[in-house]
């Protein structure tokens, strides 16, 4: 019953008190929105900081100042419980294979920046720079240093490194988040390479086949695991791409709260793309009653937006525990099979 009484306590708090204590800019440089609930955030953080402190002590013991880590069962368990911010760059680089690539290719990043640049690539990247995190103080032109320069470099280097992809929308947000965490262009570049090349192949290619496929795969998983919601989608003739493409292309950036997104990325770098499905299925499963109330296509879209907000997604520690229990088993074999089926279906429709 304890949980039920919390919202009532929150509304009784004197207005402005939490606002005075909680900074209007979050630890990652994002300006909090006008309707930000300072009261519930403060309440959540008072509990979450205890968890973070405990995790930090455990991680420090595990790493003992080491710069190298090996993947194993214990590390996976630690990653699922959250990586303290000061160790994120190290673990993401190790888990994704980015560190190996960086060491195998000394000077490669700088050589990409020094190479001949395609004017079209430069123009496309520059168009998106000002649109990247306008609510983040580090990405404003007035910031010193301004993250836009580093973002430009990472995107340009990646476009030169992978000319088949070049640059496409969504990549600016991914690179921006990587820079916020690593504060290092070269590491951000190699993490981009791991994400776009190995973890999420074909998500950002011109045909976006990987992205299209995974949206359909989610539909198939919902059909089996949450049939009521699948039926609602069918009844209103809503394509999955309409409601979840932003979840997948932005890897939940600007969809879920920052702290929750970073916890998702901890697992994404370690366990791969199936994490994106676990998150999507948990969101849908948790709010299936709301989703099934939709009476029209706009209702469906509105409800899908609504399920990514509120205490359930803000309390990232509980949320992350749920993604490993709620959706049930989700093996790589199942995903591979579904991907093959969906991919051939999409190919047939497009030709």
Tens digit of each residue's pLDDT (9 = 90 or more) over 196-210 = 999 999 999 888 999
Domain closes at, from 199, 218, 238: 199
CB 160 within 8 A of CB 192: no
Q: pLDDT at position 290, please? A: 96
| Structural domains in the chain (count) | 2
Assess whether 162 and 89 both reside in one domain. yes
CATH number at residue 172: 1.10.8.270
Nearest residue to 57 via CA among 73, 76, 81: 81
Q: pLDDT at position 5, please? A: 34
SS3 of residue 250 by DSSP: coil
33 in any annotated domain: no
11 in any annotated domain: no
Asked if the bond preceding 271 is cis, omega within 30° of 0, the reply is: no
Q: pLDDT at position 15, please? A: 52
pLDDT tens profile 265-322: 999 999 999 999 999 999 999 999 999 999 999 999 999 999 999 999 999 999 999 9
Q: Could you write out the DSSP letters of every residue in 26-68? A: -TTSBBPPTT--HHHHHHHHHHHHHHHHHHHHHHHHHHTT-S-
78 in any annotated domain: yes
Assess whether 99 and 190 both reside in one domain. yes
Domain that holds residue 77: 69-199
Q: Taking the chain, what is the end-to-end CA distance rounded to the nearest angstrom?
A: 56
Assess whether 125 and 225 both reside in one domain. no
Residue 31 to residue 50: CA distance in whole angstroms: 24
Cα-based distances in Å from 114 to 160, 168, 183, 194: 10, 21, 21, 22
SS3 of residue 150 by DSSP: helix
Domain closes at, from 199, 234, 264: 199
DSSP-assigned letter for residue 14: P
Q: In this structure, what are the phi and psi dihedrals at residue 256, rounded to the nearest 5 degrees?
A: -115, 165
Per the listing, tokens 């290719």 go with 105
Q: pLDDT at position 11, please? A: 40
43 in any annotated domain: no
> How far does Cα 40 stand from its chain's mean position?
23
**Rg of the chain in Å (alpha carbons):** 21
204 in any annotated domain: no
Domain closes at, from 160, 178, 199: 199
Q: Could you write out the DSSP letters of every residue in 180-238? A: HHH--HHHHHHHHHIIIIIISTTSSSTT-HHHHHHHHHHHHHHHHH-HHHHHHHHHTT-
CB 269 within 8 A of CB 194: yes
Assess whether 261 and 288 both reside in one domain. yes
121 in any annotated domain: yes
Residues of the chain predicted below pLDDT 70: 1-16
> How far does Cα 163 stand from its chain's mean position?
24
CATH number at residue 249: 1.10.472.80
Assess whether 188 and 89 both reside in one domain. yes
pTM comes to 0.92
Region class of 178: left (phi > 0), else alpha (psi between -120 and 50), else beta: alpha
Nearest residue to 198 via CA among 106, 94, 96: 96
Assess whether 307 and 224 both reside in one domain. yes
For residue 30, list its beta bridge partners: 136
Cα-based distances in Å from 245 to 67, 80, 95, 203, 267: 36, 25, 26, 10, 20
């Amino acid at each position: 019953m304890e949980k039920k009484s919390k919202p009532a306590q929150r509304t009784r708090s004197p207005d402005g008190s939490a606002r005075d204590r909680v900074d209007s800019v979050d630890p990652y440089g994002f300006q909090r929105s006008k309707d930000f609930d300072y009261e519930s955030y403060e309440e959540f953080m008072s509990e979450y900081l205890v968890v973070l402190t405990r995790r930090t002590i455990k991680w420090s013991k595990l790493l003992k100042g080491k710069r190298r880590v090996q993947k194993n069962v214990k590390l996976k368990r630690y990653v699922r419980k959250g990586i303290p911010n000061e160790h994120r760059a190290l673990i993401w680089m190790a888990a994704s294979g980015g560190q190996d690539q960086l060491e195998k290719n000394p000077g490669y990043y700088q050589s990409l920046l020094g190479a001949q640049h395609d004017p079209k690539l430069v123009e496309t990247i520059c168009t998106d720079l000002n649109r990247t995190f306008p609510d983040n103080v580090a990405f404003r032109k007035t910031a010193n240093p301004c993250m836009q320069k580093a973002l430009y470099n990472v995107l340009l280097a990646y476009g030169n490194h992978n000319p088949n992809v070049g640059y496409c929308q969504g990549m600016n947000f991914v690179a921006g988040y990587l820079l916020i965490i690593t504060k290092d262009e070269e590491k951000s570049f190699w993490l981009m390479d791991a994400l776009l090349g190995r973890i999420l192949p074909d998500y950002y290619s011109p045909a976006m086949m990987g992205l299209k496929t995974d949206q359909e795969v989610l539909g198939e998983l919902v059909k089996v695991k949450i049939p009521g919601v699948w039926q609602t989608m069918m009844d209103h003739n809503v394509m999955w791409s309409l409601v979840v493409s932003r979840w997948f292309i932005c890897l939940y950036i600007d969809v879920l709260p920052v702290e929750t997104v970073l916890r998702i990325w901890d697992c994404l770098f370690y366990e791969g793309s199936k994490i994106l499905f676990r998150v999507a299925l948990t969101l849908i499963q948790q709010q299936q009653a709301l989703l099934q109330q939709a009476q029209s296509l706009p209702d469906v879209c509105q409800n899908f937006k609504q399920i990514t907000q509120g205490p359930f997604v803000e309390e990232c520690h509980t949320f992350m525990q749920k993604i490993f229990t709620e959706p049930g088993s989700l093996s790589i074999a199942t995903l591979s099979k579904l991907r093959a089926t969906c991919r051939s279906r999409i190919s047939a429709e497009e030709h």
